Amino acid sequence: MEAGRISIGTRTTPSYERGGPFGFMRGIAPAVSGRVLRLVLSTLTVALFSTLLIFALAYFSPSNPAATKLGENATPQAIAHLNHVMGLDRGFFAQYFSWIGNAIHGDLGVSWFSGVPVGTSIKTGLPVDLSVTGVALVMALLMGIPAGIVAGTRRGGFLDRGINAISSTAITLPVFWIGMVLVIVFAVKAKWLPATGYVPPSAGLWPWLSHLLLPAFALAVNVAAVVARLLRNSLVAALDENFVVGATVRGLSPRRILYRHVLRNALAPTVTIIGLEIPQLLGAAVVTEALFALPGLGQLALTAAQEHDLPVIQGVLLVMVAIVLVCNLAIDGLLGWLRPATRRKHS
């Protein structure tokens, strides 16, 4: 397209679907690998931008690690020397590439305060986050998908209105407040479940799960409500489609139509929104960790933020972005499986 002129009527598809800067590959690569290649290039570009952002945040921050490390009596020469030793007197891109290069090899640097390698701290904290968010996601789907199906197939009915009322309330509740109410009911009053702490799965399935149930449920409520409402709306829309009428005319049972044809189509927006929810889930996990005293990445980031511990903050953000990107790739694969049309469109 010529620059400086608005082209009209062709702008309803995003650039990556029209080809974008990598559109030339449409002719070179076979259909499937073209889609995969485009996905990989998109992901790499997003990874480049987000790592640049994370690095820029630290690079332009006013914190002066050498001065902090050496204490109040440090001479300017000593500070300059330490900055040189730590490689902090180099340019932006030189520092960025050595940081990202080391990170790819698993070296995230060393905490400026505790001297512990960042990778080690993250290895201890990551299982906690993965456990909590993983269990939360499973809970959210177990609550949200049946609720969405029940509401969507009984449009306007008592159950539909009931589920709608519950989910629109659930969406407004802050995660930490849900968590607190759970602690009051199940830990303070009933004393059924522990209120705080984390036990690794190696200590046994129930001890591990019992420490996760409350925080994971607190996290799951919002996501379940979003999933239920979206699935309900897409089911209602999908049930009006012509292919449903066609399938009914062909004599397929309503159950078969729902589970084999309609649900598959209606799940696609739900899967997309789950992908969008994953960063939010990781963010909310930080709050839940604080409430339930779970030693996860959020607690690590929070302490590091209070100490201006740059390598730790960067490391935690980097790992979170990596998790989100991997999840996005998985979601994209799932969408391709749910909707063969998205695969064919690129061929």
SS (H, E, C) 201-240: HHHCHHHHHHHHHHHHHHHHHHHHHHHHHHHHHHHHHHHC
Q: What length does the chain have?
A: 347
Contacting another protein (CB under 8 A), which of 26, 154, 308, 346? 308
Sort residue 9 into left (φ over 0), alpha (ψ -120 to 50) or beta: left
Contacting another protein (CB under 8 A), which of 65, 66, 310, 311? 310
**What are the backbone angles phi and psi of residue 49, rounded to the nearest 5°?**
-65, -45
Stretch that binds another protein, among 75-83, 89-97, 116-124, 268-276 (CB under 8 A): 268-276
Q: Which is nearer to another protein, 210 or 233 (CB)?
A: 233
Whole-angstrom distance, CA of residue 21 vs CA of residue 168: 41
Q: Which is nearer to another protein, 122 or 313 (CB)?
A: 313
Interface of this chain with another protein, residues 8 to 67, rule: CB under 8 A: 8-16, 18-23, 42, 45-47, 49-50, 53-54, 57-58, 61-63
Interface of this chain with another protein, residues 198 to 257, rule: CB under 8 A: 222, 226, 229-230, 233-234, 237
Sort residue 247 into left (φ over 0), alpha (ψ -120 to 50) or beta: alpha
Q: Which is nearer to another protein, 42 or 124 (CB)?
A: 42
Q: Which is nearer to another protein, 83 or 164 (CB)?
A: 164
Q: Which is nearer to another protein, 61 or 253 (CB)?
A: 61
Interface of this chain with another protein, residues 150 to 209, rule: CB under 8 A: 168-169, 171-177, 180-181, 183-184, 188, 195
Interface of this chain with another protein, residues 68 to 127, rule: CB under 8 A: none
**How many C-beta neighbours within 10 Å does residue 146 have?**
14
Whole-angstrom distance, CA of residue 201 vs CA of residue 134: 13
